[in-house]
Amino acid sequence: MVPSGNRDHASMTGRVLVSAIFFASLIASASWAKAQSYEDPWRIDYPHIELGFDAGAMIWNGVDRDIVRPGGFVDFRFGWDYKWWVPMFALGFRGSGLNLFNVSGAPRGARSETLTNIYFSLGFRFKAPNDSRVTPFADGFFDFNWWHVSQFIAGCDQFYCNGGRGYRFTPGFHGRVGIQVHVAPRADLEVGFGAGYSFQGQFFFRNRSWLEPAIGFTYNFPAGYENRTSIPGYE
């Protein structure tokens, strides 16, 4: 008859061996999957043209949530894809709701308003191409912002300082990190998370920042001069 202590020891040894075999199998499977390269049958040589569209939320930092509500944005991108880096420019729109009636010292009859921002941006995207369907990226843009709220309120230190019917300029920047997932010929879906920053300029009482979770779509098509560039590294 086997003592109970020996049985427990043997049982524990068996569980350890089974666990080791299980994890070794997982590691081997992951290594095998990583080794399987994805060969894109619609691959376009570099450099090529890239068109993109993004949409997402705009969540302000350091504001009174009873006054400044979360908003959203959309933008359109155009760039030249040189495999590892993509010079781009973008045109976009941001909007957020303002509960002006909650501002201390607001005039009688103050109502909800929409803060709007039209912007033009110049920037770069850096990518890490590989043999899979997933490509990580990080990008950054310098923004030329024009902000607008049609209703002027007292106490401009609450959020913004200049109302009126015109758009007022502030410089700024925004950036994002994320992944591109190849889903169709020449087409990628994107998921990213970014942040934006605006200097005081002619509109805000002080510099402002926000977060931008986003989804996007990118389409690539030939530029007409692939493989005819003197810049090396596009094999």
Mean pLDDT, rounded, for 147-171: 68
Mean pLDDT, rounded, for 109-138: 89
Q: Does position 106 have pLDDT exceeding 60, yes or no?
A: yes
pLDDT, residue 140, reads 96
Q: Does position 164 have pLDDT exceeding 60, yes or no?
A: no
What CATH architecture is 48-222? Beta Barrel (2.40)
Q: Does position 144 have pLDDT exceeding 60, yes or no?
A: yes
Domain segments of the chain: what residues? 1-36, 48-222
What is the rounded CA–CA span in Å between residue 159 and residue 16? 61
Q: Round the average pLDDT of the chain to a whole number and report it.
A: 78
**Residue 20's pLDDT band (cuts 50, 70, 90):** low
**Residues near 127 by beta carbon (within 8 Å), at least 6 away in sequence:** 83, 84, 85, 86, 135, 136, 137, 180
Degrees, nearest 5: CA angle 167-149-101? 165
**Residue 30's pLDDT band (cuts 50, 70, 90):** very low
Number of helices (H), then strands (E), in the chain = 1, 8
- Which two three-digit tokens encode residue 218? 């990118």
pLDDT, residue 40, reads 54
Q: How many residues does the chain have?
A: 235
Q: Does position 203 have pLDDT exceeding 60, yes or no?
A: yes
Q: Does position 128 have pLDDT exceeding 80, yes or no?
A: yes
